[in-house]
Amino acid sequence: MKPSLRAFAAVVVLAAPLALTAPAQAANTLTMRGADVSSLQRSLDLGARYYNASGAPADPYDILASKGVNYLRLRVWNNPASGYNNKARVLQQARTIKAKGFKLLIDFHYSDTWADPGKQYPPAAWANHSLSHLQADVYNYTYDVCTALKAQGTTPDAVQIGNEINVGMLWPAGQVVNNDFAPLASLLKRGYQATKACHGGTQVWIHTANADSNANARWFYDGIRAQGVPWDVTALSYYCMWHGTLANLYNVIADVRSRYGKPVVIAETAYPFTTADADHQPNVISGNERCDNIPATWSGQAQQFSWVQNTARNAGAVGVFYWEPTWHAVRGNGWDPADINGTGNGWDNMAVFDWSGRVNPHVYWTP
């Protein structure tokens, strides 16, 4: 098998530069051109100002639309200490999003705080619940949030059942241990059922940060498929400094698209525009780790984002979402929901707005 795998990889590596430099020859269209704006309402409440490429004050939603964005994503935490990203705040922001004409993706973390590959802590209210109880929790909470959104006329177009659930969610009950996907599968099924009971047309995404390799992606999605988990869209995170080359991204997208027969979306990506830091909170990504030898500048950020979109498009994906492009250096909109005023922003060099709130004039989301 090794010679054939090497041959396939060589073909992709040779083809990738053509895909990156010739979007007019794209094999597919990115119908979902997205942005995660979960921090935006807090920023606005703190008095943040946003400016278009000409430097004129403008509504951040309108700026994103002018850049090609048509789909917005909101995370929902069960009971965050910050009072933001909870059900009430999501309902509020969803009204604005839908009124502006965007589609809406709801990202269920099933936690009071960040859930990602390294931590999947259940909400405090669920901490001592058994697996069977958690199955009911997932169903009831998903259905409650979805139906509340539907009742106010902002039915979600898609939901994620979990956020970057590489090895499960709601640990330890829903963690994948010794390749046993049954506990996690039981939770994912209940989330799917709740979403479809709320609105049959809402897509269910299963989201991992497994864009790094075919092996990891297959391990996870084969595992849940073998347990009979239904889903509508395969969603991946891709950060080049963690997940490898664009050629590798092409391979993974093409493989999961073919293997599972479902649309593929890059649910998260981003690139720094500077190596500097706006506050006392260290940047999550320093900007010194170049991808494709692209510098951390406004032009560099736009170039990398364009290349990710082109790679995704040519591999057959249907969407790319930029993670938190509006989370610029706003004092008081901190990283830690348990200390939102006292912590800084670890993403201030990754937003597509600079520290004064002016949008990167070079960044575009393209079909």
Helix runs in the chain, H state only: 2-21, 40-45, 60-66, 87-99, 131-151, 182-198, 214-226, 240-243, 246-260, 298-315
Is residue 101 packed enough to be buried (19+ CB in 10 Å), middle (13-18) or exposed (0-12)? exposed
324 is catalytic: no
Q: DSSP 3-state assignment of 40?
A: helix
Residue that is written with structure tokens 């990167």 in the block = 360
Is residue 215 packed enough to be buried (19+ CB in 10 Å), middle (13-18) or exposed (0-12)? exposed
Q: Which of 107, 137, 255, 268 is catalytic?
A: 268
CB 78 within 8 A of CB 141: yes
CB within 8 Å of 152: residues ≥ 6 apart: 91, 94, 95
As given in the structure block, the two tokens for residue 320 are: 């790319």
CA distance 93 to 75: 11
CA distance 132 to 50: 46
164 is catalytic: yes
Strand spans (E) along the chain:
32-36, 71-76, 103-108, 158-161, 203-208, 233-237, 264-268, 319-323
* Cα-based torsion angle of the residue sequence 242, 355, 308, 262 in order, rounded to the nearest 10 degrees: 80
- What φ, ψ does residue 99 adopt, rounded to 5°? -65, -30
Q: DSSP 3-state assignment of 161?
A: strand
Residues with catalytic roles: 164, 268
